[in-house]
Amino acid sequence: MSKVKANDTVEVHYTGKLKNGQVFDSSEGKQPLKVTLGQGNFIPGFEKGLLNMEVNEKKTVTIPKEEAYGEVRKELFQSIKNEELPDSIKPEVGMGLVARNPDGSERQLRVAEVKDDHIIIDANHPLAGQDLIFDLQVVNINS
């Protein structure tokens, strides 16, 4: 039976959890996720966890934050004055915001703090600073 190796395209069912058991993403009830290893489209620990798995094999991998979304980076926090916000926005801690970059691409942000005259936004990935746990099941391997 063949095993997943570097540069293979695999279809995988997965459930991603935090250490406290909270599920943050899952393919349950959906089509399996198609992953081409070695292209940098997935966190390194996820790809590494798939290596050497066989079709229908199931396993659970714990991915340290360094192989996931990294540490929380303080330089990705920024202060924005209230007058710079659209009038329609009433910021609350945890609220998601979207910023448009000069090239037209979008960046996901989160309100980290609300002060009287400004807010602090966080541009870190929401899962930065966390070790992640993935339940994996390889459904298909295309070498």
Torsion sign across C-alpha atoms 39, 40, 43, 44: positive
Beta-strand runs (E) in the chain: 9-18, 23-26, 33-36, 58-63, 77-81, 96-100, 106-114, 118-122, 132-142
Q: Rounded mean pLDDT of 96-116?
A: 90
Report phi then psi at 67, rounded to 5.
-105, 10
Between CA 50 and CA 56, with CA 51 as vertex, the angle to 5 degrees is 55
pTM comes to: 0.83
- Model confidence pLDDT, tens digit, residues 13-60: 999 999 999 999 999 999 999 999 999 999 999 999 999 999 999 999
- Model confidence pLDDT, tens digit, residues 1-16: 699 999 999 999 999 9
Which domains occur in the chain, in start order?
9-70+128-142 (3.10.50.40), 74-122 (2.40.10.330)
